[in-house]
């Protein structure tokens, strides 16, 4: 018999579940606290439950295994990267970034990705599978336990497309911000999408307060299509309308992300088109000089050109930041650690550094 993943039950569901196995609902509350506040990884730790109940839990449920396969600590900045091995052997990566205002964790939402963005390492091997809500949560839990410090911000910007794993992603947001769990404010959570229009609209209607980031990357439909296959499905106009809808429904300013690629989307016409798109929107624009990926031949513009690009947009009244580079010595770009690990185990490349 397959055991159920107990960490993916919401607070109410777990109480209901306990009733169904003949226990009092409040046992569900106790277990929820063990799993989502005390971050227990084993039923034997749940010392306020009877031995009989613990055995019953053991028989019917599991806390799916999530092993730290590699832990890299940057020497350049306070950034750490984690590679987790899941119960079925899939690998996912997460990043801890320490800032003055608190600790931020970047998590993966899928093992692999099927979106195919041309400059991204995460998508090279395609999609393996969706992550369960528990697997999204536990990247944060594990990092909080290992670092011994509270996580205050979460960004869903690791491997995968959260809106391609909609139900699990939505449940994850509810559970992460639930007062009975880690209780991270929704305003401190950002999720990034490549622009799956129907699910952006659905998300707008969920009554959430999370920040939505759109991976724009192209200043026109044509340019976007060159970098992002998803643009063949949803055109730029529809995507921008979905962003406007998100703002209208939630009052949350959308962030536009733009991976700046040398000689591809860093041209004068891009400044012009971007200005048109951004000027009349209440939004934030985040430039990410592209992180070159071994398997792709896109180049990063030099710092001077990226700054010039930023300045020109600012002159046109756009609110721009350049994403500070973090962890460049530890495979900072999305999917690079996971990718390198896969290649290393196929005997294809250099060894992985493992610091744990």
With binding defined as CB under 6 A, does residue 219 bind ligand SAH?
A: no
3-state secondary structure (DSSP) of residue 339: helix
Q: Which stretch binds ligand SAH (CB under 6 A): 45-53, 139-147, 188-196, 274-282?
A: 188-196
- Decide: is 49 part of the binding site for ligand SAH (CB under 6 A): no
Measured CA to CA, the distance from residue 116 to residue 161 in angstroms comes to 10
The reply to whether 215 sits near ligand SAH by the rule CB under 6 A is yes
Which whole-number Å values give the CA distances from 353 to 90, 162, 176, in the listed order? 19, 28, 31
> What gap in Å lies between CA 250 and CA 207, rounded to an integer?
7
Q: 18, 137, 151, 194: which one contacts ligand SAH (CB under 6 A)?
A: 194
Taking CB under 6 A as the criterion, the residue among 212, 291, 306, 326 binding ligand SAH is 291
Instruction: Mark the segment that binds ligand SAH (CB under 6 A) among 136-144, 189-197, 239-247, 313-321.
Output: 189-197
79 binds ligand SAH (CB under 6 A): no
Near ligand SAH by CB under 6 A, which window of 26-34, 59-67, 115-123, 202-210? Answer: 115-123
Token digits of residue 143? 């990092």
The edge-to-edge listing of strands for the beta sheet with 211-215 is: 66-73, 79-86, 91-99, 102-106, 151-156, 189-193, 211-215, 254-260, 283-289, 320-322
CB-based contacts of 161: which residues, under 8 Å, 6+ apart?
A: 109, 110, 113, 114, 115, 193, 194, 196
DSSP reduced 3-state for 286 = strand
Picking from 112, 189, 196, the residue whose alpha carbon sits closest to that of residue 151 is 189
- Is residue 154 part of the contact set for ligand SAH (CB under 6 A)? no
**Coil, helix or strand for 5?**
strand
Residue 157 makes contact with ligand SAH by CB under 6 A: yes
Closest alpha carbon to 10 in 257, 180, 157, 153: 180
- Per DSSP, the three-state class of 46 is coil
Nearer to ligand SAH, 91 or 157 (CB): 157
- Residue 153 dihedral angles phi and psi, to the nearest 5°: -130, 145
Q: How many angstroms separate the CA atoms of 43 and 25, rounded?
A: 17
What minimum distance in Å lies between the beta carbon of 61 and ligand SAH?
31
Which is closer to ligand SAH, CB of 18 or CB of 106?
Answer: 106
Rounded to a whole number of angstroms, the minimum distance from the CB of residue 291 to ligand SAH is 4
254 binds ligand SAH (CB under 6 A): no
Closest contact distance (angstroms) between CB of 121 and ligand SAH is: 6
Site for ligand SAH in 118-147 (CB under 6 A): 119-120
Give whichever of 257 and 270 is closer to ligand SAH, judged by the CB atom.
257
Which CB atom, from 35 or from 214, has the smaller least distance to ligand SAH? 214
Regarding 117 and contact with ligand SAH (CB under 6 A), the answer is yes
The end-to-end CA distance of the chain, in Å, is: 34
Is residue 334 part of the annotated active site? The answer reads yes
93 is an active site residue: yes
Q: Among 79, 190, 193, 250, indicate the residue that binds ligand SAH (CB under 6 A).
A: 193
Residue selected from 135, 257, 266, 331 as contacting ligand SAH according to rule CB under 6 A:
257
Contact criterion met (CB below 8 Å) for 282 and 103: no
SS3 289: strand
Residue whose CB is less far from ligand SAH, 15 or 128: 128
- The nearer residue to ligand SAH, 69 or 257, going by C-beta atoms, is 257
Q: How far apart are CA 119 and CA 155, in angstroms?
A: 20
The active-site residue out of 17, 23, 80, 93 is 93
Measured from the CB atom, is 15 or 159 closer to ligand SAH?
159
Catalytic residues: 93, 334
Residues near ligand SAH (CB under 6 A) are: 115, 117, 119-120, 157, 161, 192-194, 215, 257, 259, 288, 290-291, 293, 333-334
């Amino acid at each position: 018999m397959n055991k159920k993943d107990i960490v993916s039950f919401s607070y109410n569901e777990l109480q209901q579940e306990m009733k169904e196995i003949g226990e009092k609902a409040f046992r569900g509350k106790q277990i929820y606290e063990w799993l989502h506040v005390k971050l227990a990884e084993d039923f034997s730790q749940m010392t306020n439950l009877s031995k009989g109940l613990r055995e019953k839990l053991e028989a019917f449920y599991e806390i799916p295994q999530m092993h730290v396969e590699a832990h890299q600590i940057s020497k350049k900045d306070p950034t750490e990267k984690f590679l987790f091995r899941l119960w079925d052997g899939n690998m996912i990566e997460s990043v801890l970034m320490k800032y003055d205002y608190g600790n931020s964790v970047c998590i993966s939402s899928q093992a692999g990705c099927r979106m195919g963005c041309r400059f991204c390492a995460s998508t090279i091997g395609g999609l393996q599978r969706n992550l369960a809500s528990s697997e999204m949560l536990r990247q944060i839990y594990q990092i909080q336990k290992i670092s011994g410090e509270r996580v205050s911000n979460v960004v869903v910007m690791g491997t995968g497309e959260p809106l391609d794993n909609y139900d699990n992603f939505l449940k994850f947001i509810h559970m992460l911000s639930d007062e009975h769990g880690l209780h991270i404010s929704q305003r401190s959570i950002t999720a990034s999408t490549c622009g799956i229009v129907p699910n952006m609209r659905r998300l707008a209607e969920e009554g959430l307060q999370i920040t939505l980031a759109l991976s724009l990357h192209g200043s026109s439909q044509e340019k976007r299509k060159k970098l992002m296959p998803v643009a063949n499905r949803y055109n730029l106009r529809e995507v921008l309308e979905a962003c406007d809808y998100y703002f209208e429904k939630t009052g949350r300013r959308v962030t536009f992300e733009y991976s700046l690629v040398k000689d591809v989307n860093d041209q004068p016409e891009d400044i012009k088109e971007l200005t048109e798109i951004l000027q009349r929107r209440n939004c934030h624009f985040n430039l990410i000089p592209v992180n070159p990926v071994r398997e792709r031949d896109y180049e990063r513009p030099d710092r001077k050109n990226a700054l010039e690009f930023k300045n020109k947009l600012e002159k046109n009244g756009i609110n721009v930041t350049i994403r500070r580079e973090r962890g460049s010595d530890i495979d900072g770009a999305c999917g690079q650690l996971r990718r390198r690990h896969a290649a290393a185990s196929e005997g294809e490349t250099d060894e992985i550094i493992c610091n744990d």
